[in-house]
Structure 1
Amino acid sequence: MRRLVVTENITLDGFISPMGDWFDPMVPDDELTVVNNQNSADSDALVLGRVTYEEFAGFWPHQQGPVSDYLDQVAKYVVSSSLDKADWQNTTILSGPLEEEIAALKATDGKDITVTGSTTLVRSLVPTGLVDLYRLFVYPVVQGHGIRLFEEHELRLQPVRAKAFVAGVVLLEYAYSG
């Protein structure tokens, strides 16, 4: 079974909704780039909520470089009950019950399935137990308000990896343990 990996940029105080440009590293960091490239290589599917999908689809297909190349070729799944058409190449709309759609996707052959951004979607996935790994890039910023990743759900998480980068970002990975 494939892993569902939630990858989020997050502030020290737990917010994932960006206000301004806090999610850009303060300084260039080649090691952070290598880790992000490896995470992309380990994933062949990207699940997005409608809002994030529309933001990505309006921007990334018009860019050049490794990120846009990856996003163009990766299988994209947009979770939406209102979207009836997705023009970005390799995009499928998932409009059925969330847990059933994601469980079916996890049961297919392939590499990791990544969910990024998509705060409403991610917060809906947290209590389902379908998320296998939380990959959090913690930025040295206190935002003070916004949307938090975790609400009032009790989760048991097992630390998997912690890594500090020169840019000030710290990668924390936690596996879901029930």
Structure 2
Amino acid sequence: MRKLSVFNNVSLEGYFTDGQGDMSWAHKADPEWLEFTRSNAQGGGTMIFGRVTYDLMIQYWPTPLAAQNNAAVAERMNNLSKIVFSRTLDEATWNNTRLIKDDLVGQVRQLKNKPGDDLVIIGSGTIVSQLTEAKLIDDYKIVVVPVMLGSGRTLFEGVSGTPTLKRTLVRGFENGNVYLCYETA
């Protein structure tokens, strides 16, 4: 069975976007953090996005600026397999992207049961909350960024249960970020 992971940045209050939907606050560049993101991008798998995150990603990663700023991550982002869940998109134009328009929970359940690389959700808070509620997420990789936004969206809006999680890793960075890994128990 394929593993489904979440990888997201959150503020100290637990918001993954600010009140205007912006996530630029989460990108503090320094040599240690850049090396971590480069090594993290070397993994395989299929990335899963909702429409909003997909729109943000496609505006940056296929550009010359992304290749200039972080060539290794840009190469991986552009070449890995991607799935975007959206009821409103008519087509997915980013390289190696498949569009799925309905039944998020059922489709992800099927994907997990098929052979293949693991799956990772990046951003996409609505998808994270729905798949958490459906108990389909195997682990959460959360980067706590030392910033307070005052308002925003959490990854777990609407989740009614209280999943039991087991901490598997904690790593601090000089820029103040803390990487937390939890698997579902």
TM superposition score normalised by structure 1: 0.89
Contact 1:42 1:111 in 2 (8 A): no
Structure-to-structure mapping, 1:144-159, within 5 angstroms: 144-151=150-157, 152-153=159-160, 154-159=162-167
Q: Secondary structure at the match of 1:76?
A: strand
- The Cα of 1:99 is off from its aligned counterpart by 1.1
Q: Tell me the distance in 2 between the aligned counterparts of 1:80 and 1:21.
A: 23
- The Cα of 1:5 is off from its aligned counterpart by 0.8
Identity of aligned residues (%): 30
Listed as ranges, the gaps of 5+ residues in structure 1 are: none
Amino acid at match of 1:170: V
Q: Say what the alpha-carbon RMSD is for the aligned residues.
A: 1.7
Q: Tell me the distance in 2 between the aligned counterparts of 1:41 and 1:108.
A: 23
* Aligned residue in 1 for 2:110: 104
* Aligned residue in 2 for 1:120: 126
* Aligned residue in 2 for 1:44: 45
Q: Tell me the distance in 2 between the aligned counterparts of 1:146 and 1:157.
A: 24
Listed as ranges, the gaps of 5+ residues in structure 2 are: none
- The Cα of 1:123 is off from its aligned counterpart by 1.9
Q: Secondary structure at the match of 1:124?
A: helix
Q: Tell me the distance in 2 between the aligned counterparts of 1:34 and 1:113.
A: 22
Q: Tell me the distance in 2 between the aligned counterparts of 1:106 and 1:41.
A: 21
Find 1:23's aligned residue among 19, 23, 26.
26
Q: Tell me the distance in 1 between the aligned counterparts of 2:51 and 2:108.
A: 15
Amino acid at match of 2:98: T
- The Cα of 1:39 is off from its aligned counterpart by 2.8
Q: Structure 1, residues 88-144: CA drift from partner, whole Å, max 9, x if none?
A: 110101123111111122223333211111122222222111111110000111222
Contact 1:43 1:112 in 2 (8 A): yes
Query: Runs (4+) of structure 1 moved beyond 6 Å?
Result: none
Q: Tell me the distance in 1 between the aligned counterparts of 2:23 and 2:89.
A: 28
Aligned residue pairs: how many?
Answer: 175
Distance change >3 Å, CA 35–CA 2, structure 1 → 2:
farther
* Aligned residue in 1 for 2:180: 172
Q: Secondary structure at the match of 1:92?
A: strand
Q: Tell me the distance in 2 between the aligned counterparts of 1:41 and 1:75.
A: 13
* Aligned residue in 2 for 1:12: 12
- The Cα of 1:20 is off from its aligned counterpart by 6.7
Q: Secondary structure at the match of 1:55?
A: helix
